Amino acid sequence: MNHNLMIKIKDLHKSYKMGSNSLHVLKGINFEVEEGELVAIMGSSGSGKSTLLNILGMLDLLDKGTYDLDGVPIKDLDETKAANYRNKFLGFVFQSFNLINYKTALENVTLPLYYQGFKRKEREEEALRYLDNVGLKEWATHLPSELSGGQKQRVAIARALVSKPKVLLADEPTGALDSKTSKEVMALIQKINKDGKTILIVTHEEDIAKMCSRIVRLKDGVIMEDKKNKMVKAI
Amino acid sequence: MFSRDRWLEIFDSIKKNKLRTFLSGFTVALGILIFVVLFGFGNGLDNTFDKFFTDDALNTMWVNAGRTTKPYMGYKANRRIEFDNKDLEDITNRFAFYIDGITPRISESGNIGYKLKSNNYSVRGVGPFHQKNEMTIMMQGRYINGLDVENKERNVVIGRLVKQDLFGDEDALGKFVSGGGRSWKVIGVFQDDGGDNEERIVYVPYTTLQLIQKNTDKLQQIIISYKPEIGYAGAVAFENQLKKYLKQKKFIDPTDPRGVFIRNIASELSRNDQFKSGLSSIILFVGIGTLLAGIIGISNIMVFVVKERTKELGIRKAIGATPSSIIGMILQEAIFITSISGYIGLITGIGILKLVGNTLEEDYYILDPYVDLNTAILATFLLIGFGAFAGYLPAKRAAKIKPIEALTDK
């Protein structure tokens, strides 16, 4: 395996202003992820795991420290630059799926390609291929409201992958799903990881974390534990 | 802006969010519609007003004689005052500085016949200047002239409808009609914009009429046109001097409100002008008010639209939409919807005005309601502009909002 460094974070600090106080959420995180890893970031609520994911996803800005993504230093982010980086480097999967409700499954998946400037036909072909990969080719013309939770999450995964991102970031991807569907989604994530994609999952569920190759535990804004894990197969 | 994909994306969003589209479109269409209709009705009122006061020449005074109400210089009250040909001459000479033209008018009704047909018409004995004064338009032949008056010719000028009644398709010029037991030569046919009644009139030289009426020299009414350049103040001064002169001449108490009446269009007109400018300001006020209400309406809806889309915009940002593409999308959609619906409102409004047409003239005094197309288009662009502006601010805020905040808003 090529041990290419995909994510490199040094001395990362982040605090939020809450009125006159400031809440120090991340207190010096040092963290590296190699290409092809499937990392679970764990912690109780308030541990800073979501903040870390948001900074990794350029959805939020860091206060102090450095962040390199596939060798590219992520700094001086203005909105437009962040949008372009997100589009090029990152795919997102959210707990609440975040599909656009008036667009069909296929249209949702084509959207990242639209923002990359692909032609309509190419977009649809590519999106259909990814929908097929997550096993939803037959559901392409359905609206999100006509899909089950697991199906929605799989559409969201297809949408996250269609732009061929370097890293897939998943925030509690199984948080809204029952245990059987969770396992199915995790199996899909493991398959994608096996194909070489670097994936970070924020979760608070121990058995989801056990399905990853590495588990990072956060508490009060610092990394408590960072260890390799023997990946448990989801199904 | 002109990419086909952007348009398809917008059409998609419009098609699948019908309520939103309808709300913003409806507001704009209704705003423009109400503006056009109200403004059109206002202009219609204005037209009616103009019509009332443009049939006769505007620089005109009618001098009438009546009965006195006060005794004066040995004369009793309730004495009947009459004008005669001498008065006409005296006024002409004395007020030559003011006068553009002067004519007497003696009104009667008479039975006029041709061959087997005959009918009652209003007969007016007038001088040549009466034509200009009444804005009478000759269709055929000529009007009464100075020679007719001087020689007391039995010549007659008949209205278009008189000619139609008596002659039908036959040519009337040079034919003789009967009236008052004598025959009269038709020398002209006229038309008048003042309506049908004005075209059922017969004009004859006033001297001829006096001759027939036992050779009197009495005149019922004197009509004077004054020179337009003397202006409103000059007209009022003229009126006062003329009244004073006539009261003196006819031995009427200067304080007697009766005896001699002068109806001066100039003083009426200045009152009407005030009323009209008042009317115009009300119309303008209503128009601006309607537009303002429309602008506030579309602004509210745009704020609501952007708020409703916050989450969608957050998703779009998370998967790579730049802030400018978000703003562009919202604005383009807003401008598209408001333009289309503004156009619909405009056309509907103009259609309603056309449909209403003159049906409101009788009861509501609205004649030819119309809207100047430039005004209507300006109003439409104003609404579109403000709609875009009202959309821009929240769109900009939405584009700035961190995707994570938009997305956690569950």
Domains of chain A (ranges, CATH numbers) = 37-63+79-228 (3.40.50.300)
Two tokens, residue B234: 């000059």
Best of B4, B18, B315, B325 to disrupt the A interface (most A CBs within 10 Å) is B315
Q: Which residues pair with A73 in a beta bridge?
A: A68
Inter-chain touch A86–B319, beta carbons under 8 Å = yes
Domain match, B275 and B398 both: yes
Distance (Å) from the C-alpha of residue B402 to the closest C-alpha of chain A?
6
Indicate yes or no: CB of A96 within 8 angstroms of CB of B410. Answer: yes
Helix-helix angle A120-133:A105-116, to 10 degrees = 130
Q: Does residue A6 contact residue A166 with C-beta atoms inside 8 Å?
A: yes
What DSSP character marks residue A145?
G
Total domains in chain B come to: 2
Nearest CB among B9, B322, B407 relative to A114 is that of B9
Q: How does DSSP assign A83-105, residue by residue?
A: HHHHHHHEEEE-TT----TTS-H
pTM (predicted TM-score): 0.65
The rounded radius of gyration (Å) of the Cα atoms in chain A is 17
Chain B interface, best mutation among A78, A81, A95, A111, by max B CB count within 10 A: A111
Task: Report how far residue B28's alpha carbon sits from residue B295's, in angstroms, rounded to the nearest whole number.
Answer: 8
Predicted-complex ipTM score: 0.87
User: How many CB atoms sit inside 10 A of residue B93's CB?
Assistant: 9
Q: Are residues B205 and B327 in the same domain?
A: no
Q: What is the pLDDT of residue A145?
A: 93
**B31 and B134 housed in the same domain:** no
In a domain, B386, yes or no: yes
Residue with tokens 């430039």: B374
Beta carbons of B187 and B155 less than 8 angstroms apart: yes
Q: In this predicted structure, what is the pLDDT of residue A8?
A: 93
Interface contact flag, A111 B323, Cβ < 8 Å: no
Residue of chain A with shortest Cα separation from B408: A96
Judged by CB atoms closer than 8 Å, whether chains meet at A79 and B312 is answered as no
Contacts of B402 in chain A (CB under 8 A): 59-60
Q: What's the mean pLDDT in B315-340?
A: 85
Whether B317 and B386 share a structural domain: yes
Contact A83 B17 (CB under 8 A): no
Contacts with A112 from chain B: Cβ below 8 Å: 319-320
Burial (0-12, 13-18, 19+ Cβ within 10 Å), A160:
buried
DSSP designation for B360: T
Q: What dihedral angle (degrees, nearest 10) is formed by the CA atoms of A145, A149, A150, A155?
A: 40
CA distance A176 to A182: 9
- Asked whether the predicted pLDDT for residue B313 surpasses 90, the reply is no
Residues B364 and A22: their CA atoms lie apart, in Å, by 70
CA-based diameter of chain B, in Å? 108
Residue B113 bridge partners (DSSP): B118, B178
Mean pLDDT (whole number) for B301-315: 82
Please determine, for residue B2, whether its predicted confidence score (pLDDT) is greater than 60: no
| CB–CB contacts below 8 A, A to B | 68
Q: Looking at the domain assignment, is residue B335 inside a domain?
A: yes
Give domain status of residue B62, yes or no: no
Provide the shortest C-alpha distance from residue B11 to chain A (in Å). 12
Closest-CA distance of chain B to residue A223, Å: 23
The pLDDT of residue B248 is above 60: yes
Looking at the fold, whether B311 and B184 belong to one and the same domain comes out as: no
Question: In DSSP terms, which residues pair with A18 in a beta bridge?
Answer: A21
Lowest mean pLDDT among A102-116, B20-34, B132-146: B20-34
Beta bridge partners of B80: B67
Q: How high is the pLDDT of residue B340? A: 87
User: Which alpha helices (H) appear in A33-119, and where do they start and end?
Assistant: 49-56, 79-89, 105-116
Contact state of A98 with B410 under an 8 Å Cβ cutoff: no
Q: Which residues of A touch B400 (CB under 8 A)?
A: 79
Task: Find out whether A164 and A133 touch, Cβ atoms under 8 Å.
Answer: no
Contact across the interface for A83 and B311, Cβ inside 8 Å: no
Question: Domain boundary at B191, B213, B235, which?
Answer: B213
The chain A residue lying nearest B315, using CA atoms, is A98
Burial of B102 (0-12, 13-18, 19+ CB in 10 A): buried
Nearest Cα of chain B lies from the Cα of A90 at a distance, in angstroms, of 8
The answer to whether residue B5 neighbours chain A at the CB level (below 8 Å) is yes
Burial of B263 (0-12, 13-18, 19+ CB in 10 A): middle
B301 vs chain A: nearest CA distance in angstroms?
20
Same domain, B283 and B392: yes
Residue B410 has pLDDT above 50, yes or no: no
Q: Is residue B133 part of a domain?
A: yes
Measured torsion, CA atoms of residues B304, B309, B314, B319, in degrees rounded to the nearest 10: -150
**Cα angle B79-B80-B81, degrees, rounded to a multiple of 5:** 115
- Is B137 an 8 Å CB contact of chain A? no
* Chain B residues close to A159, C-beta within 8 Å: 319
- Tens of pLDDT along chain A (235 residues) come to 456 889 999 999 999 887 888 888 899 999 899 999 999 999 888 788 888 888 898 888 888 999 998 888 888 778 888 888 888 889 989 888 889 988 999 999 999 998 888 888 999 999 999 999 888 999 999 999 999 999 999 999 999 999 889 899 998 888 888 989 999 899 999 999 998 899 999 988 899 999 999 999 999 889 999 998 888 887 7
Q: Which of A61, A109, A114, A146 to mutate to test the interface with B (most CBs of B within 10 A)?
A: A114
Has residue B134 been placed in a domain? yes
Q: Is the pLDDT of residue B125 over 60?
A: yes
Query: Is residue B368 in some structural domain?
Result: yes
Q: Residue A163 is nearest to which of B317, B320, B323, comparing CB atoms?
A: B320
What is the tens place of the pLDDT at every residue in B65-98?
888 888 888 888 888 888 999 999 999 998 988 8
Indicate whether B110 belongs to any domain: no
Single-letter residue type at B94? R
Q: Which chain A residue is nearest to residue B396, measuring alpha carbons? A: A79
The better pLDDT of the pair A214, B402 is held by A214
Nearest CB to B403: which of A59, A88, A111? A59
Residue A37: predicted pLDDT? 92
Cβ contact, residue pair B5, A87, below 8 Å: no
Q: Is residue B163 part of a domain?
A: yes
Look at residue B409 in the predicted model and tell me its pLDDT. Answer: 47
**Encoded tokens for B341:** 């619906």
Q: Decide if B322 and A116 are in contact by the 8 Å CB cutoff.
A: no
Cα–Cα dist B179/B176, whole Å: 10
Whether residues B279 and B189 share a domain: the answer is no
Chain B residues with beta carbon closer than 8 angstroms to that of A107: 12
Which of A86, A94, A100 is closest, CB to CB, to B312?
A100
In the listed set B213, B244, B260, which residue is the last one of a domain according to the structure? Answer: B213
Same domain, B403 and B293: yes
Chain-chain contact of B400 with A79 (C-beta, under 8 angstroms): yes
Q: B375 — contact with chain A (CB < 8 Å)? A: no
C-alpha to C-alpha distance for B195 and B102, rounded to whole angstroms: 24
Q: Look at residue B54 in the predicted model and tell me its pLDDT.
A: 57
Burial zone of B187 (CB within 10 Å; 0-12 exposed, 13-18 middle, 19+ buried): buried
- Window from B38-47, B206-215, B314-323 with minimum mean pLDDT: B38-47
Q: What is the pLDDT of residue B116?
A: 87
Contact list, B324 vs chain A (CB under 8 Å): 80
State the Cα–Cα distance between residues A65 and A26, nearest whole angstrom: 11
Question: How many angstroms separate the CA of residue B7 from the nearest CA in chain A?
Answer: 12
- Phi and psi (nearest 5°) for B156? -140, 140
Phi, psi of A220, deg, nearest 5: 50, 40
| Whether B12 contacts chain A with CB within 8 A | yes
CA B336, B342, B347, B351 torsion: positive or negative? Answer: positive
Query: A59 and B402 in contact by Cβ < 8 A?
Result: yes
Residue matched to tokens 């998967």: B319
Q: Which of A195, A117, A98 is nearest to A163 (CA)?
A: A117
Domain termination residue (choose one: B213, B231, B258): B213
The distance of A193 to chain B (nearest Cα, Å) reads 20
Reported confidence tier of residue B356, pLDDT bands at 50, 70, 90? confident
Taking CB atoms and an 8 Å limit, are B322 and A96 in contact across chains?
no
- Spatial distance between the Cα atoms of B349 and A3, rounded to a whole number of angstroms: 71
pLDDT reading at B13 higher than 50: yes
Residue of B nearest to A98 (CA): B315
Q: Which residues contact A191 (CB under 8 A, 6 or more apart)?
A: none
What residue numbers bound the domain in which B149 lies? Answer: 120-213
CB B262 within 8 A of CB B63: yes
Identify residue A193 by its one-letter amino acid code.
Answer: N
